Amino acid sequence: MHLAWRSDRGTVTAEFALLLPVLVAVLILAVGALSLVSMQIGNSVFVGEWARSLARGGDLSTIVQQVESSRPGAHASMVTGDGVLCLKLSEAVTVPLWSSLIPRLEVSSCVPIP
């Protein structure tokens, strides 16, 4: 009886060739997600500082100029009511591949008005 042996030669190379593009895509998406999280955290910090500055009597036009100079493409808006001052920052996402999924990041911060 003669058994025909199938060669496994080259299967590791073929599996690696299939897996490599998937690993690269996952890595690119992960780096993009970290960039989005970094943008969101930075925006949260800025909005909190600006809202506190406005609550202490800062000038809105100065704050808007700071927003526009530090965050190109960002838009700031302010809402007051019920003893609370809210500042909202909307910024276009500039991270490749993610900008089509999430076109804008929005952050808001509210502080009590004395």
Closest Cα partner for 109 from 89, 83, 81, 93? 89
Say what percent of the chain tops pLDDT 70: 91
Residue 21: per-residue pLDDT:
92
pLDDT in tens, 95-110: 776 777 777 778 887 7
Structure pTM? 0.65
DSSP 8-state secondary structure symbol assigned to residue 3: P
Residue 110: per-residue pLDDT:
79
DSSP string, 39-78: HHHHHHHHHHHHHHHHHTT--HHHHHHHHHHHSTTEEEEE
27: helix, coil or strand?
Answer: helix
Q: Considering the chain, what is the average pLDDT of its residues? A: 79
